Amino acid sequence: MSAPAVEFTSVSKSYSIYNAPGDRLKELATFQRRQFHQDYWALRDVTFDVGRGETFCIVGENGCGKSTLLQICAGILQPTSGTVKVNGRIAALLELGAGFNPEFSGRDNVYLNAAILGFSAKEMDRKFADIAEFAEIGDFMNQPVKTYSSGMVVRLAFAVAINVDPEVLLVDEALAVGDVYFRQRCLRKVHELRSRGVTILFVSHATGEVKALGDRALWLERGKIMAQGSTERVVSQYLAAMAEKDARYQALDIVQHPHEANTVPVEIIDEIPNIDYRYGDGHAEILGIAVCDDSGRRLSVLAPDSAMVVRVSVRAKSNLDRPIVGITFRDQRGVDLAGSNTESEGYPLSPLRAGEVCTVDFHLSIPTLYSTSISFSPAVANGTLERFNVCDWIDNAVVLQMTPPDGPMYGHFRFRCRVEVNSRIGAGAAAL
């Protein structure tokens, strides 16, 4: 039996936190006989292994230790205790642009990264065309990386990572910066790498992607393992814990603001429950989103064949000639089910001046769906349906569970259907 591609055994990682810069000098002056710092444990006693060709996903809230774990796996950080073994060539997509020299051109950085991984210039000459084709940054390939947008940096980084024949690929929320078109291409490429037997460690807040890609998953909470095993089970436990945490927060809010309990102010929504990733040109911003019933009370679950209101508040940061506010619905696999916006519904919005706020209500009747959860992604753009610029897009800003339907389900959703029998013909007449 071959050794696992990645092995973590009782791995812990501690950082020293000083209240003031001078405390570090004081500690050095005493030859560390006196301690002037506090230990922050990013990871505590983490043990797991990843088999060759397996896609292993890591979920958890911000600050739980996911990125630290991948950085240790990549060799960027050393664990405070425990052992880590990685068998195979690693390609890593960690912090945006990590390993790129901003003064060098994209081309120079491609060859520099390849040299670090042990590739010769001749080998990279054969691979460079594939990298440039996948990155799709055109003439910017010959410009300094410091002139790139964040999306261009991740395009180039991903193109390099998948074309250096990795045996272990580390992905840490790198796709969150990319546009939808490039993100879908990357996900298809990840599926292709899986089929070729590449081992993948994948960190993402998008649970739909985790379910679609992962063979197994691990849930971290404050540096400790809360659960690991099948992706479906671990993600379900994680989402249930997040729902419970949100319920406690809402209960506290009710105690502190009893007159506002479960009521959404009509004027402005200023809460965004979740952000998987966010992008846009910044000329407008999403202030908040809420999913309510007809009376304005927030919904905690979605009932089949029920009415709801999705309320979105946006603020213009520049003058918008033709603002468009919209929402996209996804299932738990990350598949887009439907979308709507003010322009397509025949309700064009008046121009918004910088600083103005607009709240839009989408009144919807949700059908009976097979999905166990539905996510709502709000967006604001400027332009027309044929040509527009995305100002702000928030992926999976609200995720609600769907209550099970009555009776069996065939397919992904159930139409409202009225059955009518127009006539019945006897057996003798039918034979004529």
Q: What is the pLDDT of residues 9-42, one digit of tens each?
A: 999 998 877 777 777 777 777 776 777 667 788 8
Integer angstrom CA distances of residue 329 from 231, 340, 364, 397: 22, 9, 12, 10
Distance CA 110, CA 329 (A): 38
pLDDT in tens, 182-224: 667 777 777 788 888 889 898 877 777 787 778 899 999 988 9
Secondary structure E strands in 51-198: 55-59, 81-86, 90-93, 168-172
| 271: nearest Cα among 417, 419, 376 | 376
Integer angstrom CA distances of residue 75 from 56, 64, 225: 18, 19, 21
Give SS3 for 333.
Answer: coil
Give SS3 for 117.
Answer: coil
- The rounded mean pLDDT for the chain is 81
Domain with CATH 3.40.50.300 in the chain: 6-239
* Amino acid making up residue 102: P
DSSP for 183-199, please give it.
HHHHHHHHHHHHHTT-E
| pLDDT at residue 148, rounded to an integer | 83
| pLDDT at residue 431, rounded to an integer | 52
Any residues with CB less than 8 A from the CB of 305 and at least 6 apart, and which?
A: 365, 366, 367, 368, 416
Counts for the chain of helices (H) and strands (E), in that order: 9, 21
- The percent of residues in the chain predicted with pLDDT above 70, rounded, is 83
User: For the domain 278-407, what is the CATH code?
Assistant: 2.70.50.60
Q: Is the pLDDT of residue 254 over 70?
A: no
Distance CA 379, CA 284 (A): 10
Alpha-carbon Rg for the chain in angstroms: 26
Contact 188, 157 (CB under 8 A): no
Classify burial at 216, counting beta carbons within 10 Å of its beta carbon; exposed 0-12, middle 13-18, buried 19 or more. middle
- This prediction has a pTM of 0.54
- For tokens 């400027």, name the residue: 382
Q: Is the pLDDT of residue 362 over 60?
A: yes
Domain with CATH 2.70.50.60 in the chain: 278-407
Angle formed by the axes of helices 121-135 and 106-116, nearest 10°: 130
Which one is the CATH code of 6-239: 3.40.1080.10, 3.40.50.300, 3.30.390.50, 3.40.1390.20? 3.40.50.300
Question: Per-residue confidence at 265, pLDDT binned at 50, 70, 90?
Answer: very low
pLDDT in tens, 84-131: 998 888 877 776 556 678 888 888 888 887 787 777 888 888 888 888
Give SS3 for 32.
Answer: coil
Give SS3 for 68.
Answer: helix
| pLDDT at residue 123, rounded to an integer | 83
| 255-278 mean pLDDT | 67
- The percent of residues in the chain predicted with pLDDT above 90, rounded, is 20
Distance CA 24, CA 22 (A): 5
Residue 287 backbone class (left: φ over 0; alpha: ψ -120 to 50; beta: rest): alpha
Q: What own/partner pairs with CB < 8 Å and gap ≥ 24 does 35-43 have? A: 39/14, 39/15, 40/14, 40/15, 40/16, 41/12, 41/13, 41/14, 41/223, 42/13, 42/14, 42/15, 42/68, 42/223, 43/11, 43/12, 43/13, 43/68, 43/69, 43/72, 43/79, 43/220, 43/223
Any residues with CB less than 8 A from the CB of 347 and at least 6 apart, and which?
A: none
| pLDDT at residue 262, rounded to an integer | 46
pLDDT in tens, 90-99: 877 776 556 6
Contact 231, 216 (CB under 8 A): yes
| 8: nearest Cα among 40, 41, 45 | 45
